Amino acid sequence: MRRHVRHAITAACAFGAMAGLGLVATPANADADEYEVLVVGETLGFRHSHIDDTTNAIIALGEEHGFSVDVWDPPQGNSPGQPALTLPSTPFTSADDLSKYATIIFASPVDATNNLDPNRPRLLNDTELAAFQGYIRGGGGYVGLHAATDSMHTVPWYSELTGGGARFRNHPAQQTATMRVESPGHPSTEMLPTEWVRFDEWYNFTANPRDDVHVLITLDESTYNPGNGRMGEDHPIAWCHNFEGGRSWYEGAGHVDSSWTDPTFLAHILGGIQWTAGVVSGGGDCVTFSEVDDLVSGLEDGSQRVTRLGDDVTGYLDAAESAADAGDHAGAVDVLVQAKGKAHGLQDDALVAKIDDLIEWQQALVS
């Protein structure tokens, strides 16, 4: 059932955290539900203790910021679930039914499919998966939290949604590490320090998602012991991207229960929820160079004019990406402005807007 949350424990916990950020005094709309979100905590494998804390924190955030929360977290086997909160039956019935939600939040719903056995039950069966895919392709939002990358290992589409095929591989002992913000203009990172020191359980992933996603935050492996799954100098931990018509945002931290009363962490999560729900924008809106390249390629109609202009735009995009990779963000902005000028000749408003997003992203990184 939907919770418009009047739970004393939850509200008190979140109120203190949000008050520390100054967010309680000016909620977006505390008296009316502007939109709905769904929290998925259903667990078929290892159950993270933070799921209950996460659910309650998101419910409290909704009270303060104008959204209501449904919960799908039924008891499963040895998993207690959250019977007092959960919907009576699966909400993943059809894309149309899911469309009531502005975004769907996967709160570490581990399903024990990491052995890649196709016969092992998945978090979402075929019917539920089809409904979810239709929802995303219809413009829906997805927030993946912590072990959301340790679910549905036998569904390649899901790993593309979570980000670049990156899956949970392993993790070292919980310890303090430094996170470095790479995209400071995004609504989910603009409140964060450039160097964010936290104690958590730090995931190593099976692949580096950078080529396919907009990296928000990386881990500095020199500040902790990443163990035998180390990823090296480039270790993304939070990212986002525009995917098949929908919006996807992932944060790999959040294992420790104390995260869900940490004002800074909660503000970060709120930004991810709001961005995927489409109620805030900015910082480049998670656009990637590859996304814009694909858009240019899709405009080719065989004419010499379009081909010539498309090649020019692609060349500028490649040069801007190289400058950005080298840390020359001002140079990247200069080249992107030239790309935008050429893109106007292609008379495609979507392309021009996406290049504007790239410019906004890079401008936020100019010292």
pTM check: above 0.85: yes
Q: How far apart are CA 239 and CA 235, in angstroms?
A: 11
Q: Which of 252, 199, 270, 250 is nearest to 14 (CA)?
A: 270
pLDDT band at 78 (very low <50, low <70, confident <90, very high): confident
pLDDT band at 32 (very low <50, low <70, confident <90, very high): very low
At 11 the pLDDT is: 33
pLDDT above 60 (res 258): yes
At 17 the pLDDT is: 39
Average pLDDT over residues 240-266: 97
Q: Taking the CA atoms of the chain, what radius of gyration do you get in angstroms?
A: 21
Q: How far apart are CA 64 and CA 24, in angstroms?
A: 6
Q: Which residue bears the tokens 């007092």?
A: 84
At 301 the pLDDT is: 72
Find the DSSP H helices in the chain: 8-21, 50-65, 95-98, 126-137, 156-163, 263-277, 289-299, 304-325, 329-344, 349-363
At 274 the pLDDT is: 98
Quote the mean pLDDT of the chain: 90
Q: How far apart are CA 141 and CA 347, in angstroms?
A: 29
Q: Which of 199, 250, 202 is nearest to 226 (CA)?
A: 202
Segment (H or E) for 198:
strand 195-200
Question: 183-197, 234-248, 293-307, 349-363 — which is least confidently predicted?
Answer: 293-307
At 12 the pLDDT is: 34
Average pLDDT over residues 330-351: 95
Between helix 50-65 and helix 8-21 the angle, nearest 10°, is 70
Average pLDDT over residues 177-202: 97
Length of the chain: 367
Average pLDDT over residues 285-293: 97
At 182 the pLDDT is: 96
pLDDT band at 23 (very low <50, low <70, confident <90, very high): very low
pLDDT above 90 (res 3): no
Q: Which residues in 256-281 are b (16+ Cβ under 10 Å) and which e?
A: beebbbbbbbbbbbbbbbbbbbebbe
At 305 the pLDDT is: 86
Give pLDDT tens digits for 191-203: 999 999 999 999 9
Question: 10-14, 43-47, 58-62, 227-231 — which is least confidently predicted?
Answer: 10-14
φ, ψ at 189 (rounded to 5°): -125, -10
Structure tokens at 349: 């408003």
Q: Which of 236, 237, 239 is nearest to 275 (CA)?
A: 239
pLDDT above 70 (res 33): no
Give pLDDT tens digits for 96-112: 999 999 999 999 999 99
